[in-house]
Amino acid sequence: MNAKHPAVQIEAEVWRLRLYVAGQSPKSLTAIRNLRKVCEEHLAGRYELEVIDLLTNPRLAKDHQIVAIPTLVRDLPNPIRKIIGDLSDADRTLVGLDLVAKSVGSS
């Protein structure tokens, strides 16, 4: 599966991810768990993940234009991408992060 992708480019970069959650809500916890899993599977050793709890710092919701919770933002590599939801739909998560071909996610 990975053979189909431009793996050279992906492996050359460090991924910087931000996950916005609201406290310890079930959706937030599920999202953290799902994201960690995806990262370990596909980006082991070359990602930075920052989990931001908006309950403790609501101003960041305004500054970073966050409406839905949880929201995952891919800062690097460019371009910026936003994925909302608890990431329980693994295929769509991978599509959103550009880790697999789009055709997989459309099913």
Partner 1 sequence: MGRSETPSQLKGALAKAPSGISGLDDITLGGLPRGRPTLVCGGAGCGKTLFGMEFLLRGALEHGENGAFIAFEETPQDLAQNVRSLGFDLDRLVAEGRIAVDHIHIDPQEILEAGDYDLEGLFLRLGLAIDSVGAKRVVLDTLESLFGGFENQAVLRAELRRLFRWLKDRGVTALITGERGDGTLTRQGLEEYVSDCVILLDHRVHGHVSTRRLRIVKYRGTTHGTNEYPFLIDRTGISVLPATAMGLDHAASHERLPSGVAQLDAMLGGEGYYRGSSILVSGTAGSGKTTLAASFANATCERGERCLYLAFEESRAQLFRNMKTIGLDLERWQERGLLRFEASRPQVHGLEMHLANLHKAVAQFKPGVVILDPVSNFVASGAKADAEAMLVRLIDFLKASGITALLTDLTAGGSAREATDVGVSSIIDSWLLVRDIELAGERNRGLYVLKSRGMKHSNQIREFLITAQGIQLQDVYVGPEGVLTGSMRAAQEAREAAALAARAGEAARRQRALQARRSTLEARIAVLRTEVEALEGEPGPERAAEGRIS
Binding of residue 102 to partner 1 (CB under 8 A): no
Taking residue 10's Cβ as centre, other Cβ atoms within 10 Å add up to 16
Binding of residue 71 to partner 1 (CB under 8 A): yes
Binding of residue 17 to partner 1 (CB under 8 A): no
How far is CA 10 from each of CA 18, 28, 93, 97, rounded to the nearest angstrom? 18, 27, 16, 11
User: Are the C-beta atoms of 104 and 90 separated by less than 8 Å?
Assistant: no
Binding of residue 87 to partner 1 (CB under 8 A): yes
Binding of residue 30 to partner 1 (CB under 8 A): yes
The window from 1-9, 10-18, 44-52, 55-63 that contacts partner 1 (CB under 8 A) reads 55-63
